[in-house]
Structure 1
Amino acid sequence: MTDSNLPPLQPMPADWQRALAVVAHPDDLEYGCSAAVASWIQDGREIAYVLATRGEAGIDTLAPAESGPLREKEQRASAAVVGVRVVEFLDHRDGTIEYGISLRRDIAAAIRRHRPELVITLNHHATWGSGTWNTPDHVAVGRAVLDAAADAGNRWIFPELAEQELAPWNGVRWVAVANSPNPTHAVPADRGLEQAVLSLLEHRAYIETLTDEDPETYVRRFLTDSTSAHSARFGGKPAVVFELFSR
């Protein structure tokens, strides 16, 4: 079924103030939804980033001990471009993240710390919209985020978090999954697109391993194409799309 046969994408909810984005790797948000993050922060909203790994297995030519600190530095610089000041790392192992209790607990703890109304993550489905196979890290983290949004509000799940002065938080109203093959909602990309380009460019060491093309040419084309992919369902406007789950 083509986009022209699908229902229009709905605008994302606007009645919230705090969001938490939880993804697997440095660059996931910059490839996924930083144009939306930039526009939300322009509107005065608060957004923090939590990454399950430091992306230490992501550069074939660099050993993890060297790659991890480099990619962390790039991620912090990238987040700053769109106005995100808080970036945390959970230190799960890149490439072998396991869905399970440990991951759910760590994400539930982050939700309790930051007390968001909106939680953002990346595609947890087995494939991307093109039918390309997704990575195990994305699947594990995305699924754990959906579960941890509920775990965070239940005092009897992970009671040890209360002993760490992390009281239950049942205030998550939505989980928004970026780059889902089944998008339902969208945010106009125009206001935040230039910041998104500059933000992704901060991952230069990683990008230079992916392509021989000029990094800015590559980044600008990628983000222009990705934000145009579903524009037919959003009034012809470039958009960052999400699959939205209400709670």
Structure 2
Amino acid sequence: MLDEDEITRVLVVAAHPDDIDFGGAGTVAKLTDAGAEVVYCIVTDGDAGGFDRELDNGGMAELRRAEQTAAAKCVGVHDLRFLGYGDGTVEPTLGLRRDIARVIRQVRPDLVVTSTPERNYARIGPSHPDHRAVGAATLDAVYPDARNPYAFPELLADEGLEAWTVREVWLLGTPTPDRYVDVTATVDRKIAALRAHRSQTSRIEDLDGMIKGWLTGHAAAAGLPEGSYAEAFQAVVTA
């Protein structure tokens, strides 16, 4: 498995604006603080999310892109790429695999972070169908697509994008975590990033308590000292 100090370039592939902030923004902040370059690839614009139906889908998409951009700045991320797929209708198609493989070849990351393609029966929130579809397509884009020079040959012929092998994938929302990151020093920035998603989080009465409760549980599972916070992933070695 990758040591944190080996990680210099990271690609996060998420279905919606705010997915990474709920799942791994504390880890992202820790990595950027250590000098890693982190890029966000957001598959949809989140146009079916939120509660303010005075906005049409186009207005909601514009708002959520702006919220994600502001949230990313809280944790040191300034390179965001929105693929523009429809919120709530994502499927792990060849087209989506190609689009994610393109970004992998552009960014050339050591680590990819994405959603688990598994359904989590213990906590249904991570199992949104878009999350599972994006996780499945991303894993396929990592292996075999991005590393295979014969896969999507137009990426090389038309765009000059050479094959790239990602060393490891960390899955969010997994029912079987095996990689914990101590985010005690960055938990406040994670919560600030979540607060930037006002259309999604403003109705949560005790956002701090909810998030810190989750992270306290992860820290306990990781054997960290009392008062610590951690984020949880399943690590998949892919190199």
**Aligned partner of 2:185 among 187, 191, 197:** 191
Residue type at the aligned position of 1:149: V
Distance apart, 1:206 and its partner CA? 2.0
* CA–CA distance in structure 2, aligned partners of residues 76 and 132 of structure 1: 23
Instruction: For residues 50-96 of structure 1, give each alpha carbon's deviation from its aligned partner in whole angstroms, at most 9, with x where no partner exists.
Output: 00000001024232111000000000000011000101101111100
* CA–CA distance in structure 2, aligned partners of residues 191 and 141 of structure 1: 29
Residue 51 (1) aligns with residue 42 (2): yes
Residue 67 (1) aligns with residue 55 (2): no
Paired residue for 2:209? Answer: 221
* CA–CA distance in structure 2, aligned partners of residues 168 and 128 of structure 1: 36
Within-5 A mapping of 1:48-127: 48-60=39-51, 61=53, 62-127=55-120
Within-5 A mapping of 1:136-151: 136-150=129-143, 151=145
Distance apart, 1:132 and its partner CA? 5.9
Summarize the Cα distance change of 1:136–1:204 in structure 2 as closer, same or farther, 3 Å threshold.
Answer: same
Residue type at the aligned position of 1:114: V
Instruction: For residues 210-243 of structure 1, give each alpha carbon's deviation from its aligned partner in whole angstroms, at most 9, with x where no partner exists.
Output: 44x2xxxx22112201211222221234211110
Runs of 5+ consecutive residues of structure 1 not aligned to the other structure: 1-9
> In 1, are the aligned partners of 2:29 and 2:76 still within 8 Å (CA)?
yes
Residue 21 (1) aligns with residue 12 (2): yes
SS at match of 1:91: strand
Coordinate RMSD, CA, aligned:
1.7
Residue 238 (1) aligns with residue 229 (2): yes
Paired residue for 1:6? Answer: none
**Aligned partner of 1:154 among 148, 155, 169:** 148
Distance apart, 1:11 and its partner CA? 8.8
Paired residue for 1:167? Answer: 162
Give the number of aligned pairs.
Answer: 231
Summarize the Cα distance change of 1:52–1:128 in structure 2 as closer, same or farther, 3 Å threshold.
Answer: farther
SS at match of 1:119: strand
**Aligned partner of 2:173 among 168, 179, 183:** 179
Runs of 5+ consecutive residues of structure 2 not aligned to the other structure: none
Q: Which segment drifts farther, 198-207 or 224-233?
A: 224-233
SS at match of 2:105: helix
Identity %: 35
SS at match of 2:169: strand
